[in-house]
Amino acid sequence: MDHFTYKNNELFAENVAVAKIAKQVGTPFYCYSSATLEHHFKVFAEGFQGLDTLICFAVKSNSNLAVIKTLADAGAGADVVSEGEIRRALKCGIAPNKIIFSGIGKTASEMEFALNTGIYQFNVESEPELELLAKTAQKLNKTAPIAIRVNPDIDAGTSAKITTGLKTSKFGIDINHALEVYKKASKLKGIKIQAISVHIGSQITDFKPFEKAFIRVREFHAELAKNGIEINVLDLGGGIGVPYDAEKNPPPHPRDYAKIVREVFKSFKGRFCFEPGRVLVGNAGILVSEVIYVKPTDARNFLIVDAAMNDLIRPSFYNAHHDIIPINQKSAAGNHKYDIVGPVCETGDTFAELRTMPELKPGDLIAFRTAGAYGSVMASTYNSRKIVPEVMVKGDKFEITSRRMSYDEMFEREILPDWLK
């Protein structure tokens, strides 16, 4: 569900005409709906009513400050993977005791910052990381609350690039060896064991892998208890998928995910942590673009638009599908097949092939739906293209939450060496 709907054949973001935003801001731009963000968080949280939960938004999915603050105001904490993301969470008013630090490559300086901040939990992903965290905590005379991320060797059934729970994955510690790591952690000064963490992947639309992974965690929790290791928190990660293709069956509802959690862990009396990202922000954003040219050839008809792979890399990087719709339904009539492509000098700068669309002309506006997750956050200046602006809508008003990069801003980090001046 989202708040991007047609009214009198014009696409609106809540109560603002998208074409009105485009006229003021220019294209391409990202547009987020406050109401959609708030609704998705509410729906996710409702499934766990009555349980002790900490729901931490996965900041990596969309690091726009307005998005983070909207979710924080709704009650979200933050799942972060860098010092920069910790700083973003703090800037948006998220309390340190609602921040979980994930990621496989935490540096000593990042650990120091997190320890001095007083975050809720470190999700440890390797023995070397555990040793460095203990050393860093002792140096600061602090104690690091930890979960150890176990790898259950379960295929999430999603893209290989976002599957994280297999033995061949770089993430976590093999669940078959995790007991020894917990025993080691229990003897380290500066370390406080409080949780088990698991996360098997992203964009998961079949919940059976979740159930399998959770059952393994439940069994492992019992094994830890037999060995005298008390666990009061289960961090079950994120990964719920969203419907990118409206033509296909949508993924199961978050309430179905909550039912699995409740059933598998019905005897667990501690706290549950969740790290949703895409399920909160995916459908809350669109990328708006303008048609530059329509290029007919003997083999294909190309719709060349002003957005490119540097703005939205998912189709190129993941072979991902996004529904693409006209902003004005009335002016776009008939059915045509287009390859929808951007201006970047790469054949891979292709958003869709042979996509059935209404007839479109230069100057027409289109929207890439479900672009709120892993869209703007993965943007780059490839081909020396400016980072596009982001806009947030609330009711009948909108504001730019991240302005379009200028060329001066693009170049200001670069320095010519003396011998070239």
Task: List, by residue number, the catalytic residues.
Answer: 345
DSSP per-residue codes, 105-144: ---HHHHHHHHHHT-SEEEE-SHHHHHHHHHHHHHTT--E
With residue 193 as reference, give the H or E element that holds it.
Answer: strand 191-197
Coil, helix or strand for 146? strand
- Whether cis (ω within 30° of 0) applies to the bond prior to 276 is no
Helices (runs of H) and strands (runs of E) counted in the chain = 12, 21
Find the distance separating the first CA and the last CA of the chain, reported in whole Å: 56
Q: What are phi and psi of 420, to 5 degrees?
A: -105, 0
The 3-class secondary structure across 365-413, one letter per residue, is EEEECCCCCCCHHHCCCHHHCCCCCEEEEECCEEEEEECCCCHHHHHCC
Distance CA 188, CA 74 (A): 37
Q: What are phi and psi of 217, to 5 degrees?
A: -65, -40
| Sequence letter at residue 130 | L
Length of the chain in residues, anyone? 421
Give whole-number Cα distances, 46 to 39, 43, 136, 256, 266, in Å.
Answer: 11, 5, 38, 11, 17
Count the neighbouring beta carbons within 10 Å of the beta carbon of residue 186: 15
53, 273 contact by CB (below 8 A): yes
Distance CA 298, CA 285 (A): 35
